[in-house]
Structure 1
Amino acid sequence: MSALNSEASAAAMKDAGNVIIHEMQSIAAALENLTQRVEALENGAPKAAPKEVSLSQLADTARKLQELDPVGARAILIEVANAAGYQKLSEAPASERPGLLRTLEEKVAELERVANA
């Protein structure tokens, strides 16, 4: 393998490692959130009724994401929409918006933690 191929391979492996680390951090944040919600329910907190989420709430959260990560926000929004089976978040029916908003809020919280670290 030539030195150039070796460097390219090392760079690709580093990029893949960074993606894996980012995904693991997202999973850890989601698990922490879930753990807190389960503990709250176990301690007698009332189960929250599903809230209605408007498209403007999704847009506001998307703007906050854009402020925190101007370069990566679009990719995050596409990833969240695609994971739910949509091309765009605005295609999601009202019944799925609370989950999408929660996911976006988790991404915002993660970016805020990184920015404050």
Structure 2
Amino acid sequence: MQDELLYQRIGQIIYSCGPANASELFVKAKLFSATGAGEFEFDYLDDSGEPDWFEPDHLAVADLSEALRELQQHSVESGMPDGTAIWSKCEITVNVAEEKIDIVFQYE
């Protein structure tokens, strides 16, 4: 259940900072382990299917960073096998019309 709440929160953050005419929102995120910092790329498809990028305000980025770190921590607490690396990158897709979120994790 915690996963669902975190996914919902992440989706809401991205949706709320995206352009009004977006049909899909895409975020590539890389979290740095030693600091609270991260690297983000924000793209979208408009309602005509044309790709573009957007730049959210710094508060949205801070909220997204915090939510992703909580998701990382939850992954660890929910039983990652010993020796398994935690994900440090992810690609997030928010389908606006269908109100769906998909997160693909990348491990290093």
TM over 0.5: no
Specify the structure having the higher radius of gyration (Cα): 1
Which has a greater percent of helix? 1
Which has a greater percent of strand? 2
TM-score, scaled to structure 2: 0.31
TM-score, scaled to structure 1: 0.29
